[in-house]
Structure 1
Amino acid sequence: MTTARDLMTGDLRCIPASETLDRAAQLMRDHGIGALPVRSSDGQLSGIVTDRDIVVKALAAGKDASKVTAGDLAEGRPHTVEAGADASAAVKAMSEARIRRIVVVENGEPVGVITEADLARKLTAESFASYAGRVYATP
């Protein structure tokens, strides 16, 4: 059985909710990633910040990235899937939520993320097309 762990990219980077967006952008640049799960002061996942969020919701809105925090921008808890879950369950969760990233957790701790790029590389063309059709279809 293929699991969520088999699909994910490991070496997950998280960012504290109190960290500024300019620092988040630097981490994304330095690690070649486009999203960072956000941890609240109690260590719980409290959202996710993407490179697009920083540009559209902060910079384009005239906000100062050195003053706005990741917690200010993160919206709700990120979607998660257990590392040992069947890969099809992870893809289904992503499809139903119409999301391009899902955080993989093990014993409640984030251990990786499955991105749209991971799916494109690891799913059959038919399975990926089905996922993409559901995520990008007009609601």
Structure 2
Amino acid sequence: MAQHVRDIMTGDPVTVEPQTSVAEVARIMRDEDLGVVLVTDGDQLRGLVTDRDLVVRSVSKGGDPERITVAGACSDELVTVSPDDDLVQAVQLMREHSVRRIPVVDHGHPVGIVSLGDLAMERDPESALGDISAARPNA
């Protein structure tokens, strides 16, 4: 069983700059089959945006998604872990902060994401969440 975040994280996260349009981020998510994209300023992590964030924090408020930037839709109070952190710590942080995904950073630079699905596949691959996380996308 994996012991560190690096053992189960999804590496090479997709990143966008804060001025990227909501529509462009949605297209990236569709094309790359992603539910989350990291928002960076240069190579420093600034935020995280999920498909749900795009809908709730942006599209539902109206306006032109081609002109609205992702800066207003992203979560900017982030909880992060490092690749060398213990998985138990990642689980504790997810519970404490009620989050499903945590960016993995190494000296301030995003290097991956660890998700509830990653943990389920590692800890209990026969669980419903493990099955769903391992399944091919239905889009």
- Normalized against structure 2, the TM-score is what? 0.82
Percent identity of paired positions between Structure 1 and Structure 2: 35
Deviation at 1:108, TM superposition (A): 2.2
Partner of residue 132, structure 2: none
**Number of residues of Structure 1 aligned to a counterpart in Structure 2:** 126
Partner of residue 14, structure 2: 13
Q: Which runs of 4+ in 1 moved over 4 A?
A: none
Tell me, in whole angstroms, the C-alpha distance in 2 between the residues paired with 1:112 and 1:75. 17
Aligned AA (2:23): D
Alignment of 1:21-40 (within 5 A): 21-40=22-41
CA deviations over 1:95-116 (Å, ceiling 9, x no partner): 1111000001123211110112
Aligned AA (1:93): L
RMSD: 2.0
Alignment of 1:9-88 (within 5 A): 9-40=10-41, 42-88=42-88
Match of 1:82, SS state, is: coil
Match of 1:37, SS state, is: strand
Q: Which runs of 5+ in 1 are unaligned?
A: 130-139
Tell me, in whole angstroms, the C-alpha distance in 2 between the residues paired with 1:34 and 1:44. 21
Match of 2:61, SS state, is: coil
Deviation at 1:75, TM superposition (A): 3.1
Match of 2:110, SS state, is: strand
CA deviations over 1:26-73 (Å, ceiling 9, x no partner): 111111111111112x54222111101111222222132111111122
Match of 1:81, SS state, is: coil
Q: Which runs of 5+ in 2 are unaligned?
A: 130-139
Tell me, in whole angstroms, the C-alpha distance in 1 between the residues paired with 2:5 and 2:102. 10
